[in-house]
């Protein structure tokens, strides 16, 4: 099956720093999605990307759909303590098939 490689696995940063994480796939996707999951809760959709090359922002978050359609990155600028959580990428090829990365655990020191 399709593999999504997400990196880094975890990050420890200082409040105010920028953060970058990315996902790569062995196959192309039509949609890339980025989620944040807090402990004991379901993932919450942050950004959805639909076209190769697309760059989309949501507040301090920016994500891009790679031009090859096999990768995507998420940037968080000026991190704050509430950014702590696990971030997942997800790729969609067919309507009912979503593939998830292994997650990036973000820790922010005040």
Nearest-angstrom CA–CA distance, 81 and 95: 35
User: Does residue 98 bind other proteins (CB under 8 A)?
Assistant: yes
Q: Which window, 12-20, 25-33, 66-74, 77-85, contacts other proteins (CB under 8 A)? A: 25-33
User: Does residue 60 bind other proteins (CB under 8 A)?
Assistant: no
Q: Sheet with 61-65: list strands edge to edge.
A: 4-7, 19-25, 71-76, 61-65, 55-58
Q: Is the CB of 84 or the CB of 100 nearer to other proteins?
A: 100
Q: Is the CB of 77 or the CB of 92 nearer to other proteins?
A: 92
């Amino acid at each position: 099956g399709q593999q999504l490689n997400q990196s880094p696995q975890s990050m420890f940063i200082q409040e105010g720093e920028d953060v970058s994480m990315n996902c790569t796939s062995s196959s192309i996707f039509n949609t890339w999605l980025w989620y944040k999951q807090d402990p004991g809760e379901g993932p919450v959709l942050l950004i959805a990307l639909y076209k190769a090359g697309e760059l989309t922002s949501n507040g301090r978050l920016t994500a891009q759909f790679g031009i090859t359609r096999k990768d995507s990155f998420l940037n968080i600028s000026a991190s704050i303590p509430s950014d702590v959580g696990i971030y997942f990428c997800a790729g969609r090829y067919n309507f009912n098939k979503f593939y998830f990365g292994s997650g990036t655990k973000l820790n922010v020191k005040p």
